[in-house]
Amino acid sequence: MSSGSSLPYRLRQNKSVDRELFLGLLGRLAATLELENYQYVGLGGPFLEDFRLIHARLGLKDLVCVEAEENVYKRQLFNRPIDQITCVNSTLEDYLDETDFEIPVIIWFDYTDPKSITDQIERFAQSISCVPVNSIFRITLNANPTSLGTPKPEELAVEINGMERSDGQKKTIQEWRLDRFRERLGGLFPNGLKPEEMTFKRYGLCVLRALYLAVENEILKTADRNIVWALATHYADGQPMITATLVICQENVQPIKDLVENWEYHSTPLSPLMLDMPALSTLERLTMESCDDAMDRMGFELPKSDMGEDPFDSFKKFYRFFPHFSRVEL
């Protein structure tokens, strides 16, 4: 679930922006839902950065970090920044099965293994009925299309002049991936997906659609609760990832819905925020923050990433959350 060798979130700028958006959402909900009285359950990795911020920004005092890898668990005990964090050596699934939540909870299902995506989506959706109303769920899923596998060269159509041509039997790489995606998701596979969506930029949107349908279908089975989608993102710091956050409500969702939908960053799995922040020097950043005509002032364009978003537009949307990095010598 987490990796002891993974970089801290603060060193991954798109994930850092994503986390700040999540904290911003929680801050918006804090007074109405009295979040300081909630429990927070998540997968903190070896450095527990999320837990430190959740405690500092929102005042939560009941925090549970779940970790399946024993060595990472030991590092968490050593690195634990506050004594309000309880570290548990367990899988998230086992912990949820063994716990009866008596108060509303914030749970971050922070997954990274793409091969288990079907089980991950199903577990997320099914857990909605197992926690008190007003709980908040957040999920992270790997959205790299290469995780669907690598076909043998003889299985694919020949590429001619940069265009893939099929002979009627062999498939293009996108067609091959679509078949693998259908096999992996089974009954969660959304109707209407096309081969051209099996790309680095668009595959995450397909995963979000599958997640949306699974949750909406699960809600139809419950008579006493509903959900409000609050935040969804798609980004890549090396690995493309998607996230989605929802609030579990009583049948009357309007109070929470009004609060969430009036937030400027409100987004859903069907219309996620694309986080594609450019790598910038300090001078470039200061120029882009202070000028409406930054590209004219700078006199050059910035390269696009594989996500394909305009770097100037991306920065303008999310500059308030752009992380500041500095080197400190001890």
Write out pLDDT tens, residues 136-161: 999 999 999 999 999 988 888 865 44
What pLDDT, on the 0 to 100 scale, is given for residue 166?
52
Q: Identify the domain containing residue 307 by its residue range.
A: 282-321
Nearest to 92 by CA among 75, 72, 107, 77: 107
219, 297: one domain: no
Read off the tokens for 58.
């929102």
Read off the tokens for 291.
């000028």
267, 296: one domain: no
Domain harbouring 209, CATH code = 3.40.50.150
Under 8 Å between Cβ of 86 and 55: no
Residue 179 lies in a domain: no
User: Residue 249: is its pLDDT beyond 80?
Assistant: yes
The count of domains in the chain is 2
40, 130: one domain: yes
Nearest to 193 by CA among 184, 201, 205: 205
> Tens digits of per-residue pLDDT, 41-95?
999 999 999 999 999 999 999 999 999 999 999 999 999 999 999 999 999 999 9
Average pLDDT over the chain, rounded to an integer? 91
Q: pLDDT-derived band of residue 251, with 50, 70 and 90 as boundaries?
A: confident
267, 287: one domain: no
Q: pLDDT-derived band of residue 2, with 50, 70 and 90 as boundaries?
A: very low
Flag the least confident range among 50-54, 199-203, 323-327: 323-327
240, 206: one domain: yes
Task: Tell how far CA 191 is from the center of its chain.
Answer: 23
Residue 302 lies in a domain: yes
Across the range 186-210, mean pLDDT stands at 96
Residue 111 lies in a domain: yes
Q: Which of 242, 257, 275 is the last residue of a domain?
A: 275
Report the percentage of the chain scoring pLDDT > 90.
82
Residue 99 lies in a domain: yes
97, 128: one domain: yes
240, 306: one domain: no
CA distances from 6 to 37, 113, 276, 328 (A): 31, 14, 20, 20
What pLDDT, on the 0 to 100 scale, is given for residue 167?
55
260, 111: one domain: yes
Please give the angle made by the CA atoms of 55, 133 and 138, to the nearest 5 degrees: 50
SS3 (DSSP) at 255: helix
> Tens digits of per-residue pLDDT, 222-246?
888 999 999 999 999 889 999 999 9
What pLDDT, on the 0 to 100 scale, is given for residue 3?
41
Pairing verdict, β 226-237 and 239-249: antiparallel
Burial 146-163 (b: 16+ CB within 10 A, else e): ebbeebeeeebbeeeeee
Strand-pairing partners, residue 141, are 242
Contacts of 43 (CB under 8 A, 6+ apart): 1, 2, 65, 66, 67, 92, 108, 110
Sheet (strand 85-89) strand order: 85-89, 62-67, 39-42, 105-110, 136-142, 239-249, 226-237, 273-275
Q: pLDDT-derived band of residue 164, with 50, 70 and 90 as boundaries?
A: low
What pLDDT, on the 0 to 100 scale, is given for residue 324?
79
What pLDDT, on the 0 to 100 scale, is given for residue 252?
84
Whole-model pTM? 0.92
216, 308: one domain: no
Residue 218 lies in a domain: yes
> Tens digits of per-residue pLDDT, 106-144?
999 999 999 999 999 999 999 999 999 999 999 999 999
13, 70: one domain: yes
What pLDDT, on the 0 to 100 scale, is given for residue 329?
77
